[in-house]
Structure 1
């Protein structure tokens, strides 16, 4: 008889899988969502609906591969390509690691920007403090401890932004319509791409697959579904809160505008949300790169090579932070890297989840294939547009 899903196991699964929502709700999401709300009101909410549902679909598929076959997503790739597998694994690992390092730069810059808004302390000291705390947590080696810790911060951040959004003056009818009716106002395409690209993150598929052991299929689906939904609703709340912002966009202007319109508490909550988003992603980006190495290259968790991977990703982020680079340009620039990687990873996932030999009855159903095929086509278009825009802007 299948294991029943109790309230305790259900809540525990949601908290555990919040590592995924913690990974995609980073400074990039805060920046893109708040900027979308500031420039276009609620018009781009539908992009978050699409990306949230797509993330649930793709993460469930990646985790189902591991639960059904006992192999991680990366191991299935290496098993599927014979003599070409080592080269494919190395290329994917390098690409994912570069993406994680790029994200890490934005993550630390965002976390420190939030702390700076809250405390007005020197950014150099704050950068070092964030780095020391993150290295300490990652060195412990317990992914469940990290996942639960991140889950609590994500929930707190979601409550903070939801409270701000509730006071933004938007009507329920307007909000619900914007959730499901696609709209492309003039000059909004870049932000639409950013909203989707910051939610459907390539390295999360390797991270989720690598963390999905020791759960039943029902627990996994329940945990991923609710955790990602909470993350998506948090992004939507950030966008709604961003509608309060006018003028040139910066973290300082967002905090000042929200404080002026709703009180000092609103600016402080934005600063906390920015810090929380950056801090949670500062943990997950190095962890994801190490889990990807474990999945694709067979490096064991806790080994010297495994730790060297996440330490290198952490070092890249700290270097950018200590150099005092402006955070918003870096955060926006890394979305091009995400867009380039995303369609390739989703195609690999589509092939893997249809492997009859490995998955048997757990392979995709026709309905799942139609839904995933649609997501693959959209993400391929997203990747092409991001590459075109990146080349066109000289990035």
Structure 2
């Protein structure tokens, strides 16, 4: 197969990679490397496998049924309890969650920008305006408001490619010990690594990406013969995202900082390895990671809102623009004024902790139904694999809920 054919059929998969490689992933992978070296690389591999399996199911449902997951939930009229409960849970988890974390995406992008330009804080009397956050959040808002789907896709794919280059190059320049690196692919853990292990998987297997991909494949492919393109698209994209996560972990393992609280600390710790060049690469990678997530999070939330409420899901429709704008504006306010939406984040964490295993179980059940997917339904072996992955999502969900109530 030629490279032209390989990349000519790449669809919305890179947007999934763009969504899960945000500031949170950068932070978690950096800390995993700094605290435990290469020993948790296998967890990144597991998270990639789980994500590919679940996203493939999501994409297959989108193509074969010709609709998105939100609309499928809304159309479950023969199951009124599941329909209402599902609609409410999805709206709370996705909308509030993405609004809360949008502030982190914008702030993470600004942290990357600070490697090149330290934006000032403007005194507004009783509060301060973080100019960098405000400018980057406004840029995300404008691109989402004005852009067609294809334009947004091109921008995000370009950012993903550049971000990947930045992190992979930084990792290569650290010249890791390959024998220790390869040993990290062998599963092993101790009690101290478990919270980081859960966090590594949790930043990759993201509930809203399941909704995002099912919605976007309909804009790229319409026929069951396109399933092969969809599978190639999501596999290449998620594997690339996994390689970037590994690269960030490798960079974290190479740092010499006594304490790490941000990517800036990592870059300072790498200066002894290859000078100030580390800062510029890490800065761009973090800037791109923040911006890609700052654009995909509102986009995913808007698809969910419009699907649940039965509104038009065209990117330029009033419903999509209103929903995307609301998510970005909330993130913009929180990040620009330094407001920490603790209660909102806590509620979002609780809702997402419940949503991930519930939605995962539901799409696995859908994928096994001949009445919906016909010959493209999951066979018993595929269902068994997906069910094993569901157990992982259940652990993640319990961990998220437990964190809210202080159980762990």
TM-score for both structures, normalised by structure 2: 0.88
Higher mean Cα deviation, 360-369 or 242-251? 242-251
> Does residue 273 of the first structure (1) align with residue 285 of the second (2)?
yes
1:53 is the counterpart of 2:49: yes
Partner of 2:21: 25
CA distance in 1, matches of 2:397, 2:90: 16
Indicate if the aligned counterparts of 1:90 and 1:296 stay in contact, CA closer than 8 A. Answer: no
Deviation digits for residues 162-212 of structure 1 (CA, Å, limit 9, x no counterpart): 122123232223222312x22223422111111101001100000000000
Give the secondary-structure state (helix, strand or coil) at the position aligned to 1:14.
coil
Deviation, 1:81, is: 5.2
1:96-142 Cα offsets, whole Å, 9 max, x none, are: 11111122121011111111232122252212211221112111342
Given the alignment of the two structures, is residue 92 of structure 1 paired with residue 90 of structure 2, yes or no? Answer: yes
How many angstroms does 1:242 deviate by? Answer: 0.4
Q: 1:42 to 1:35 in 2, by over 3 A?
A: same
Q: 1:254 aligns with which of 228, 251, 266?
A: 266
Q: Is the contact between residue 95 and residue 341 of structure 1 (CA under 8 Å) also seen in structure 2?
A: yes
**Mapped partners of 1:339, 1:8: distance in 2:** 41
Indicate whether 1:101 and 2:99 are aligned: yes
> Kindly tell me: are residues 70 and 276 of structure 1, through their superposed partners in 2, closer, same or farther at Cα, counting changes over 3 Å?
same
- Superposed, 1:187-226 pairs within 5 Å as 187-213=192-218, 214-215=220-221, 216-226=226-236
In structure 2, stretches of 5+ residues that fail to align are 122-129
**SS of the residue aligned with 2:115?**
helix
CA contact 1:57–1:372 (8 Å) conserved in 2 = yes
Cα distance in 2 for residues equivalent to 1:237 and 1:326: 30
For 2:161, the equivalent position in structure 1 comes to 155
Cα distance 1:388–1:332, how it changes in 2: closer, same or farther (>3 A)?
A: closer
Question: Residue 184 in 1 paired to residue 189 in 2?
Answer: yes
d(CA) in 1 for partners of 2:394, 2:267 = 35
**1:77 Cα shift?**
2.5
Q: Residues 17 and 147 of structure 1 are in contact (CA less than 8 Å); yes or no, is this contact kept in structure 2?
A: no
Whether 2:320 is the aligned partner of 1:309: answer no
> Any stretches of 5+ residues in structure 1 without a counterpart?
none
Contact 2:163–2:288 (CA<8 Å) still a contact in 1? yes
User: What is the correspondence of 1:2-17 to structure 2 with a 5 Å cutoff?
Assistant: 7-14=3-10, 16-17=12-13
**SS at 2:144 equivalent:** helix
How many pairs are equivalent? 388
